[in-house]
A = this chain, B = another copy of it.
Amino acid sequence: MSTDGPAPVSRDERRRRTEAAILEAARALFAETGFERATIRAVATAAGVDPALVMQYFGSKEKLFTEATRWAHDQVSVLDVPREQVPAAALADLFETFEGAGGRDGAVALMRSCLTHPEANRTLRDDVMCSVASGVADRIGGEDADLRAGLLAACVMGLGLSRYLLRIPAVSEASRADIERLLEPALRALLGPPDRPAG
């Protein structure tokens, strides 16, 4: 309580901290109630600042939301594994996204608002689902590759929705291992028969 010194926080540092606090509060509130019900006033209160400061930092509620739900493409492992490991990797990616160290609020916030907020809808469909499904389809191959990949993505998203958003007890309270054990074989069936390079 003495070695801390007189709080030598520079102006830049303060700005970075409050911006992070606002972003964190926004993520939490967007995740909890969705875009429409989360108000800038509530975000500001949670972050301990004035509502006008939120506007000053992010320009508008829309831009705040976009910033708070930015999707990181690079933490998707399903695009980097051989065909047979796609189902397991897809599940691992889901668990990592929603239970990993990096705050899960951003993902929940995007998903929470994806049915009522036009841009969240577009982002989740195009930048997440279609983008991933397209890569998965390449690994699956065959005539129905696109549909198979789409159905796989749909099932994984259904799991995420049930477990983290709707919180259906049987799915929400199950262990990650149990879900992988039961669901991975089912997703594997979506891949279809093993590769046949030509045909």
Please list the residues of chain A having a beta carbon within 8 angstroms of any beta carbon in chain B: 33-34, 36-37, 111-116, 121, 124-125, 129-130, 133, 137, 144, 146-151, 153-159, 161-163, 165-171, 174, 178-179, 182-183, 185-190, 192
Contacts and interface: CB of A to CB of B under 8 A. Distances in A.
Given A147-B182, A150-B169, A158-B161, 5 more contacts: A34-B115, A114-B166, A115-B116, A115-B165, A151-B179
B158 A121 contact: no
B125 A182 contact: no
A17 B178 CA distance: 52
Contacts of A162: 129, 150, 153-154, 157
A163 B154 CA distance: 9
A133 B189 contact: no
Contact of A182 (B151, B163, B170): B151
Nearest to A189: B186
Nearest to A167: B125
A186 B170 CA distance: 20
Nearest to A165: B115
Contacts of A174: 147, 150
A185 to B, nearest CB: 5
25 contacts: A34-B116, A36-B36, A36-B37, A125-B167, A125-B168, A129-B162, A129-B166, A130-B168, A133-B168, A133-B170, A147-B170, A147-B179, A150-B169, A151-B159, A151-B171, A151-B179, A151-B182, A154-B158, A154-B159, A154-B161, A157-B158, A182-B192, A185-B189, A186-B189, A189-B189
A125 B164 CA distance: 12
A148 B183 CA distance: 8
A155 B182 CA distance: 12
A146 B165 CA distance: 19
A163 B188 CA distance: 21
Contacts of A34: 36, 115-116
